[in-house]
Structure 1
């Protein structure tokens, strides 16, 4: 009887491996979409809030419009797959995934990414939450940057420190690049990782602005000059 059960389990395992191999050998399908918010639509914008299971890339440009580019790559079969949504409500731009709390039936893989290009004139809050993905910010002029991720790397590179920066991550590393000639107030802590600050001479605890708070449970924190 035990031998019979063992044979059945082995057969099921082999079948599962074969099905998985077939599914993941299927060609990946990528879909792209762009949404443009005009200068008139974002004239009173107080916050940009991105919250979902997607990679995030933030850039700035001289454009007066705000551009959101969405990309989704899917392999195999996914029931109840993620969809990206964007809207402005109460002077906040929300970019989210629409089935955050729903159960998915998955026989494949799915990756989402958001590339958002923000006008240089935008200086209000930038808030990003990305659970298992990467966050990359290049030269934001926001006076309040907040990033949170469960398991993903966060990279921020700034030519100018415009205000406060807060980054919290559980398992991911934090890589921060700042101007070599600017002073800032710093708190950087990692419970199990390593903190490396190559701009130690720039830290000034008497500064009431430009507060940088970095916290990682199990990841490395690195601060370098730009």
Structure 2
């Protein structure tokens, strides 16, 4: 089975396992999703989901966060790790969105990645989930690990992995692919002690001698 056929079979099986994929982060609009995704760097989604209600209670929109005291924001997001840098980036992003984009979260990759703290992964998550726009595939640690383990890429750089994955799947499924691999990476194929004996992708996995 060549790589493209294996990729499509992986998609089909994970689609059956996860018929209605969605981000594990709680959000109600593009700004909330952007903030949550920035906070999720080096932090669990569960922790972020506990922090964001407090954050948005203090600063409910882009304009209010742009005017916030960055030290106060840092104190609220402290438990997500790297809190000073995250707070600085969120405030700076809010200001840029107001000054450059008329107070609306931009809807293109080129514009989103100009926001402080926003790289391709975050931009892809916001675009696909909030706007239904597919410019790429978000590659986080789970996607990186599983794409390599499943033989869908030989690269370890997230940007190159994204470029390897995109031709393997129809554009309209790019958002789902991220969700599928994140969920499966957490539930079945973690970094340590993958549960190969109960893995429905086991027969598709060229795992012998392969480590992510």
Q: Give the TM-score normalised by structure 2.
A: 0.26
Q: Between Structure 1 and Structure 2, which shows a larger proportion of strand residues?
A: 1
TM-score (ref. length: structure 1): 0.25
Higher radius of gyration, 1 or 2: 1
Higher relative contact order, structure no. (Cα contacts within 8 Å, ≥ 6 residues apart)? 2
